[in-house]
Amino acid sequence: MSKEPVAVVGVGQTKHVAARRDVSIAGLVREAARAALDDAELTWADVDAVVIGKAPDFFEGVMMPELYLADALGAVGKPMLRVHTAGSVGGSTALVAANLIAGRVHGTVLTLAFEKQSESNAMWGLSLPIPFQQPLLAGAGGFFAPHVRAYMRRTGAPDHIGSLVAYKDRRNALKNPCAHLHEHDITLEKVQASPMLWDPIRYSETCPSSDGACAMVLTDRAGAARAPRPPAWMLGGAMRSEPTLFAGKDFVSPQAGKDCAADVYRQAQIADPRRDIDAVEMYVPFSWYEPMWLENLGFADEGEGWKLTESGVTELDGDLPVNMSGGVLSTNPIGASGMIRFAEAVLQVRGQAGEHQVEGARRVLGHAYGGGSQFFSMWLVGSERPGS
């Protein structure tokens, strides 16, 4: 029996900010879930199951969100489950929900991811005082900066590429009312003049710390037929993992990322992603990851990704827009960031992205990664039902 086609009929996000002091975590997730149900014109009773994701437990000190949030998410009397995959969790949570539809386990599933970074300290969560080990010497940016230098060495990319990405994403964020950073006076010069934190990564080339939640309503063909607005259809979705550190690991272009993308393209019958995909929402917490992922995801040959960025191809009005929403560089509630990528891809193919809409976007990729570049999750969504 073939898989049931999966449609996304509702999307909801909070307005992402540095600190949502006015709501509990329950209140925060509720806003996103309610917005997604409203978009789908559904009630809590229409949902068959809830799949939730969040950042690693030490990041915010909530160990069992599925227990704490069952009533806020209308999950009482229904299956509710939680997904863990570090920073990629928002993406893998959506895929677990999608598989419940594709496998005909449920007809309509609410999926949601969140984080309140203001109530915790992710850096602390990443640097527990493990006995006998040397303390981590550099922080999260310091963990990724050497990989950026390796990319620059390998490809000969010029120094200014990272600043171009940050300048683009921050301008895109101005068109997205949900984005956290709205830097109205942003200029390329300001990005380039910002302090070098972990050389070669500048302050303005790093992501903020945000509070936010994102939710989606996934359903089957029958649910899509009842939807008040055009659905997005999942054309392919995949996850891949690899160890954090192993001999032969390629941090610049991890094998798991390549394999994950290849699986999605095979499912969606994408022969040439650069030609067949209209736009990408990818997980770029440090600006240099845009050219790195362009290569890893097959949009450019090895060593050529930075040329797409430099020539303006990834701008909002370019030939392959990347991070139209402003991306992780403008909004980063870590646990939700992957799902925001997936949801923004959905908004594009539904034609509902507002000011940051890419005209005529028909196939858009959502991408997330996490851990030490070891967990990958991606989906490709389209405006046409697969096989139709």
Partner 1 sequence: MPEVLTAPLTVEFPFTRSLGPVQSAFLTGLRERVVLGVRTGDGRVLVPPVEYDPVTADEIRDLVEVAPTGTVTTWAWNHEPRRGQPLDTPFAWVLVRLDGADTALLHALDAPGPDAVHTGMRVRVRWAAEREGAITDIACFESYDGEQEQPTGHSGEFADAITKIVTPARLDYRYSPGRAQTAYLRALADRRTVGERCPSCHKVYVPPRGACPTCGVATTEQVEVGPAGTVTTFCIVNIKAKNLDIEVPYVYAHIALDGAGLALHGRIGGIPYDQVRMGLRVEPVWTEGARHPDHYRPTGEPDAEYDTYKELL
Residue range at the interface with partner 1 (CB under 8 A); choices 125-133, 270-278, 340-348, 378-386: 125-133
**Matching residue, tokens 């736009």:** 279
Taking CB under 8 A as the rule, which mask of x and - marks residues 49-88 in contact with partner 1? ---------x-xx--------xxxxx-x------------
Using CB under 8 A, pick the residue from 3, 26, 48, 304 that binds partner 1: 26
Antiparallel, parallel or unpaired: β 108-116 and 49-54: parallel
Smallest distance from the beta carbon of 150 to partner 1, in angstroms?
4
**CB-neighbour burial class of residue 10 (10 A; exposed 0-12, middle 13-18, buried 19+):** buried
Q: How far is the CB of 176 from partner 1 (least distance, A)?
A: 24
CB of 364 to partner 1, least distance (A): 32
298: which residues sit within 8 A by CB, 6+ positions away?
258, 261, 262, 265, 273, 274
| CB of 76 vs partner 1, minimal distance in Å | 5
- Of 27 and 228, nearer to partner 1 (C-beta) is 27
Q: Is 192 in the site for partner 1 (CB under 8 A)?
A: no
| Contact pattern from residue 206 through residue 245 relative to partner 1, giving x for each residue in contact according to CB under 8 A and a dash for the rest | -------------------------------------x-x
Asked if 200 is part of the footprint of partner 1 (rule: CB under 8 A), the reply reads yes
Report which secondary-structure segment, H or E, holds 112: strand 108-116
For position 306 contacting partner 1 by CB under 8 A, the verdict is no
Kindly state whether residue 156 participates in binding partner 1, applying the rule CB under 8 A. Answer: no
Q: Peptide bond before 228: cis, by omega within 30 degrees of 0?
A: no
Q: How far is CA 90 from the centre of its chain?
A: 7
Q: For residue 217, give every residue at least 6 positions away whose Cβ sits within 8 Å of its Cβ, in sequence order, or none.
A: 8, 9, 10, 11, 36, 37, 39, 40, 42, 47, 108, 109, 110, 111
Q: Which of 81, 126, 138, 188 binds partner 1 (CB under 8 A)?
A: 138
Q: Which of 189, 35, 259, 19 is nearest to 120 (CA)?
A: 19
Q: Is 167 among the residues that bind partner 1 (CB under 8 A)? A: no
Residue 211: strand, helix, or coil: strand
Task: Decide: 332 and 179 in contact? Cβ < 8 Å.
Answer: no
Q: Which stretch binds partner 1 (CB under 8 A): 3-11, 95-103, 136-144, 182-190?
A: 136-144
Q: List beta partners, residue 237.
A: 379
Binding site for partner 1 (CB under 8 A): 20-27, 30, 44, 58, 60-61, 70-74, 76, 116, 118-121, 124-125, 127-135, 137-139, 141-142, 145-150, 153-154, 195-201, 243, 245-252
